[in-house]
Amino acid sequence: MRFDVVSIFPEYLAPLELSLIGKARTDGLLELAVHDLRSYTQDRHRTVDDTPYGGGAGMVMKPEPWAQALEDIAAAAPPAPDKAAAPSPGAAPARKKPTLIVPSPAGEVFTQQLAYELAGEDHLVFACGRYEGIDERVLEWAAEQYTVRSVSLGDYVLNGGEVAVLAMVEAIGRLIPGVVGNPESLVEESHSDGLLEYPVYTKPSSWRDRDVPEVLLSGNHGKIAKFRREHQLRRTAARRPDLLDKLDVSNFSKTERNV
């Protein structure tokens, strides 16, 4: 899987060299390149923004450097692995469009489900906007070469897309097979089944007058599973009742429905 990130602050993406994602890159599980938007400008001042038509506060990112960057990146992308035979002898195999993700507080919300969906793509390109955003025509034009999606982390405003890209690349990258050492850890975590994760404990079993719940020391796996499931439900009801509304409670046992 390949990731390209375009930003006027490429240094902001340096943490992607660390930890699990950094290791996945050195292990060859994923390729990631960060591009400076200013390197696609043509003028002496390397201008990337201008005042908005119609007036208003702030600046808007100009279309020309974005078009150059997105064109170059799409052209440089390696052909997708040859899954089917070429349609006719000598013809290039049909290539799936790369996905262009435009981080924006005005986008669809990034969820674990979207992370799974995007982890199945071959090529993701992230266009980090700053200021008031990118000229809308860029996103319309890019749809010829890319599947374009505006994506938001949640209902609050960041200064630019870079921090959102750090979060999205980490959430997507860890779902690529081999990136997380023990794939079982992906199964029991928050949001994998639509519920929040159960509380966890480690040694010592008694600490500052607080005891680890007895059942977890019992070795009774049935009881432990029931305890954890109940706490998942309680926690989700208390902190994120909106998540319960999305679940099909007909799959729940009668006791679970009453938690």
Q: 158 among the known binding-site residues?
A: yes
Residues in the chain: 259
**In this structure, are residues 89 and 169 in contact, taking their beta carbons and an 8 Å threshold?**
no
Q: How far is the CB of 9 from ligand 6GU (least distance, A)?
A: 13
Q: Which residues contact 178 (CB under 8 A, 6 or more apart)?
A: 24, 27, 29
29 known member of a binding site: no
- C-beta of 153: minimal distance to ligand 6GU in Å? 4
Residue placing its CB nearer to ligand 6GU in the complex, 58 or 79: 58
Judge whether 20 is annotated as a binding position: no
Q: Is 219 annotated as a binding residue?
A: no
Residue whose CB is nearest to ligand 6GU in the complex, by number? 103
- The CB-of-189 to ligand 6GU minimum distance in angstroms stands at 22
Residue 155: CB minimum distance to ligand 6GU, A:
7
Instruction: State which residue, 158 or 212, has the beta carbon closest to ligand 6GU.
Output: 158
User: What distance in Å separates the CA atoms of residue 223 and residue 205, rounded to the nearest whole number?
Assistant: 18
- Is the Cβ of residue 98 or residue 133 nearer to ligand 6GU in the bound state? 133
- Measure Cα distances from 10 to 58, 72, 84, 166, 245 in Å: 22, 17, 37, 12, 40
Binding site for ligand 6GU (CB under 6 A): 103-105, 151-154, 156-158, 160-161, 164
Q: In what order do the strands lie in the sheet with 99-109?
A: 31-36, 2-7, 123-127, 99-109, 147-152
- The SS3 of residue 133 is coil
Of the pair 37, 233, the CB lying nearest ligand 6GU is at 37
